[in-house]
Chains A and B, each alone.
Chain A
Amino acid sequence: MTTIDLGMPGAGTFGVPHLHEDAPPLNKKELASDMEPRWCAGCGDYSILAAVQGFLPELGLKRENIVFVSGIGCSSRFPFYMNTYGVHSIHGRAPAIATGLATARQDLSVWVVTGDGDALSIGGNHLIHAMRRNVNLKILLFNNRIYGLTKGQYSPTSELGKITKSSPYGSVDRPFNPVSLALGSEATFVARTMDTDRKHLTSVLRAAAEHRGTALVEIYQNCPIFNDGAYELLKDRDEAEARVVHLEDGQPVRVGADKLVARGDSGELTVVEAEGADMSRVVVHDAGADDPSTAFQLSRLDDPTMAHIPMGIFRNVSRPTYEDLVHAQIDDVVNAAGGSATDADLGALLMGNDTWTVAD
């Protein structure tokens, strides 16, 4: 049996060519393609694009080694607006295509941009399997809780009872919680952030980029045309302050200024008043916990009424990536045989073990 010892996985961009340290960093402009974004006015996708373009230069990567792969949807138009390499593929399949690309090319920083329909309906299978394999992909899931491009049908994240053109009597489908789904799929990095909170969005993207392995980042994104106000509560400072469950590594999990998340008698998580709370029961966030159970419980604090909305990095653990393991197996065999296969090796393969010769 081959043993694979990759040591501690390196940073997310380990192996991707960086700009020379003396070279000027990329600027935001250089990362914008010459195509005018064509989202509706006020669409949350604009803020996410700006945040990504604003933050990417920090990574110090060569522009040509960055690839954005998307599916189909308003959100999936994203690669067209990036002056990097990109593939605008087919509905739901971006994680599969990106898996092939990342496996073939470890020198690329591969990003997947997808929507709630793209990632969770048609492409649900690829998404969960990319996460369980821990392919080194940064998956940005733009969740507007609606099918935008096809003009407003309910999506797998739309709330029960949602009235849309395809659910005039209200949707009878129960929604997914994308974070719970990701945690259940063995994802090694799972986070939630918000289109309008540039600072938080950027900090989450930064952590995702540093993570080696699949990073699933759910981004709440407003679609002002077909699902306006889905996250309205979060835009109001006071409302947000009262509801957001702050996930900060090493810190007690706080809700607003005066509440904390604590463990109840049966192990369940509840929101309690900070004042007088039994600190031994208060949950201190540990994104690096090997066991995802607490992260999963935290993800369940989320509920359709938005009474509590956990935000931040739920989970961030180190595991070997799929492509590192794939290449380690190949390298082991190739190195043990003394280098790349030669014509003689191919000849031996074709010859096999059971040959006979016919005289001319």
Chain B
Amino acid sequence: MSIKPVESLDSVVIRFAGDSGDGMQLTGDRFTSETAALGNDLSTLPNYPAEIRAPQGTLLGVSSFQLHFADHHVLTPGDAPDVLVAMNPAALKANLGDLPRGATIIVNTDEFTKRNLAKVGYDVSPVEDGSLESYHLHPLRLTSLTVDALADFDLSRKDKERSKNMFALGLLSWLYTRPTTGTEQFLKNKFGSKPDILEANLAALNAGFNYGETTEDFAVTYEIAPAKMQGGAYRNIVGNTALAYGLVAAAHRSGLQLAMGAYPITPATDILHVLAKLKRFGVITMQVEDEIAGVGTAIGASYGGALGVTATSGPGVALKSEAIGLAVMLELPLVVVDVQRGGPSTGLPTKTEQSDLLQAMYGRNGESPCAIIAPQSPGDCFNAAFEAVEMATTYRTPVFVLSDGYLANGSEPWLIPDVAKLRQIDIDFTTEPNDVDANGEPVFHPYLRDPETLARPWTLPGTSGLEHVIGGIEKADITGNLSYDPDNHDKMVRLRQAKIDGIAKSLPDLVVDDPSGDAGVLILGWGSTYGPIAEAVRLARKDGINVAHAHLRHLNPFPPNLGEVLARYEQVIVPEMNLGQLSLMLRAKYLVDVQSYTQVRGLPFTSIELAAVLSKATANLSGAIR
């Protein structure tokens, strides 16, 4: 127990920032884990440089990890940090703009050398010139403190310096009364085979912790009470892992072999990485020559009766478009994961955006409808993937899962699902003739549809007596024979559309959170903006602003009551990280004058700015009584 006074806080946002080589992601991960173990709710967001080897000490090379933890439900990684840990001048400079006055800054002054300062354009050290006066500044010689603490170790100075992130972690753990036992165990697992490195890291961690306790630099320590959370087992999970697990769980529940074809692309690659490890679950991963082959192999696998999946980002979807159209025509199950990033072209590969909605919706030749599902938080990627598999197999159609960079790399505590309660996915392959011909003889018609779902039979090669050829050329209704008949084409185009539209019948109604029941403004989001929007709504309501909130998970088809919901509100605000793609769809479909609020900075919205939007919108209401 600390001998210093302890102060209680309800929520804290910390950002660890340093050079790519400083181990900030690891430091953040470990602090997250300690925090989760204490029962705080939390949300995290890493921010990586796009260049793998950006020059050391430059702004381009800054890597950061933000963590928001609280004694209540946390919806976002936090708008602005309360604490910045800056390991070098670049990290300070790159992040200072995000800090509110009064925030705490811990800097590693050992790195504030003339050379490093010059690299980022500081003539004088900001630590010394008084420019940081309005912050709580803690200039610490983190590197030399670490090296001093490791004086007795037979390691090179370089190796000793490497442990400075553990020193920082120890210090922060002390400052926020986090236990370090989990990290100690983690280090033992990681460096078990290198005892001297292990001992050095443990010593640095301890030294950091003790430094907080003994130095006069820090007068108080803080504690944050556990949050009230639903009972159960939790882990911290990032969106890409949750998404991969959702696919595996659905494959397991359906009895299908998961077959993924993929080509590496940021920020989707980790889905491939996770699945490649899961051979235990019979998962086939094929890292193929390009994105077209990625979707091609998935389609081939689905045709063979596996669960064909491909995961990519926007540029990859562009390459896959023609083949996704083929899957629309073949009417085979296919899951296409698009982890969206900043576009167009290579755009901002490591940043987030929601600008592929229209690509998923319309980015193919011909009338080529696909279902679209968007998860709303990192953990929710599991559910979205699971549901996509259910939909793809039930309706024999490509289904898009629209994740994004923010969800993919962000993390949150995840209530681990009870496997026994995961829905069963029944797959029924057609193995017998399904129709009779004019003479009453049994025949197989590959495009005879289920009257309820309009799905066609899923019949596997190897099934005797049902041999047939499918392909991309238009087929005759029912028989699936080639057909160039105008009326038949018109009918088939409409049938394929009706099949996707009909999925709406199986969707739950859109739930609107409107506690007063008489809000005039509805804020409607989709995908990863859920957290910032929900937080903004909470802030607005605290200020007495009456707003309703709803979040779309199904982008195609929309939930059945959406039109009715939109009509109920005098004003509908749709924030998106694009130039208004959902707004365009809503306006076109429901003839509702939704107000688009957009931003494409590669970063999530802040809840403060959205709360301001809500405040303005309610002030402008006509006051008309509905």
Contacts and interface: CB of A to CB of B under 8 A. Distances in A.
A23 interface: no
B309 to A, nearest CB: 11
B301 A104 contact: yes
Interface string A98-128: 1111111101100000000000000001100
Contact of A104 (B37, B226, B259, B467): B259
A90 B305 contact: no
B300 A85 contact: no
A17 B296 CA distance: 25
A350 interface: yes
B290 A125 contact: yes
Contacts of A358: 39, 226, 229-232, 234
Interface centre among B257, B288, B467 (most CB of A within 10 A): B467
Given A86-B469, A125-B289, A330-B279, A69 B300 contact: yes
B286 A103 contact: yes
B119 to A, nearest CB: 37
Interface in A315-333: 326, 329-330, 332-333
A257 interface: no
A345 B303 contact: no
Nearest to B257: A104
B543 to A, nearest CB: 30
Contacts of A105: 304-306, 460-462
A104 B284 contact: yes
B347 interface: no
Contacts of A351: 233, 235, 416
Interface string A177-201: 0000000000000000000000000
Interface stretch (B56-64, B245-253, B588-596): B245-253
Interface string A41-79: 000000000000000000000111101110010000001
A345 B281 contact: yes
Interface string B195-239: 000000000000000000000000000000010011111111100
Contacts, number: 211
Given A125-B289, A334-B282, A341-B281, A354 B235 contact: yes
Contact of B419 (A67, A85, A98, A343): A343
B306 A104 contact: yes
B144 interface: no
A1 interface: no
B234 A99 contact: no
A150 interface: no
Contacts of A65: 461-462
B301 to A, nearest CB: 4
Interface stretch (B97-105, B146-154, B470-478, B604-612): B470-478
Nearest to B293: A96
Interface of B: 33, 36-37, 39, 182, 226, 229-237, 245, 248-249, 252, 257, 259, 261, 278-284, 286, 288-290, 292-293, 296-306, 308, 322-323, 325-326, 330, 416-417, 419-420, 460-473, 481-482
6 contacts: A65-B462, A88-B470, A103-B286, A354-B235, A355-B234, A359-B231
Given A64-B462, A104-B304, 11 more contacts: A17-B462, A84-B467, A86-B469, A88-B469, A96-B300, A100-B297, A100-B301, A101-B301, A104-B284, A330-B283, A357-B233
Which 6 interchain pairs have the tightest Cβ spacing? A100-B300, A88-B471, A96-B296, A360-B231, A100-B297, A86-B469
